[in-house]
Amino acid sequence: MDIRRKQQIVVEALEDVKGRDIVIFNTARLPSMFERVIIASGDSSRQVKALADHVRDKVTENGGKVYGVEGERGGEWVLVDLGEIVV
């Protein structure tokens, strides 16, 4: 999947669940393992978990791969690893 398409899917998924303060960092020119970092805020740990779940579902529905999810248990923060994008 093209990175721009994957980025669009992630942002739309975050907006669907009312994610706030969505910021996209293009890290393609930095020596890292990914090309984009997308950060969003939620109002509660429940919403943060819902944001991560929705991103994971939408990326998978569109043929993308989710490599891992961290931090779901507490819900204070959740990291979704999509390969070239980290949310």
Residues 40-71: tens digit of each pLDDT: 999 999 999 999 999 999 999 999 999 999 99
For residue 81, the model assigns a pLDDT of 96
- The predicted model gives 29-43 an average pLDDT of 89
Q: What totals of helices (H) and strands (E) does the chain contain, helices first? A: 2, 5
Q: In this structure, what token pair is assigned to residue 59?
A: 């990326």
For residue 64, the model assigns a pLDDT of 94
Backbone angles phi, psi at 45, to 5 degrees: -65, -35
For residue 87, the model assigns a pLDDT of 96
- pLDDT of 4 above 90: yes
Q: What is the pTM of this model?
A: 0.91
- Average pLDDT of every residue of the chain: 93
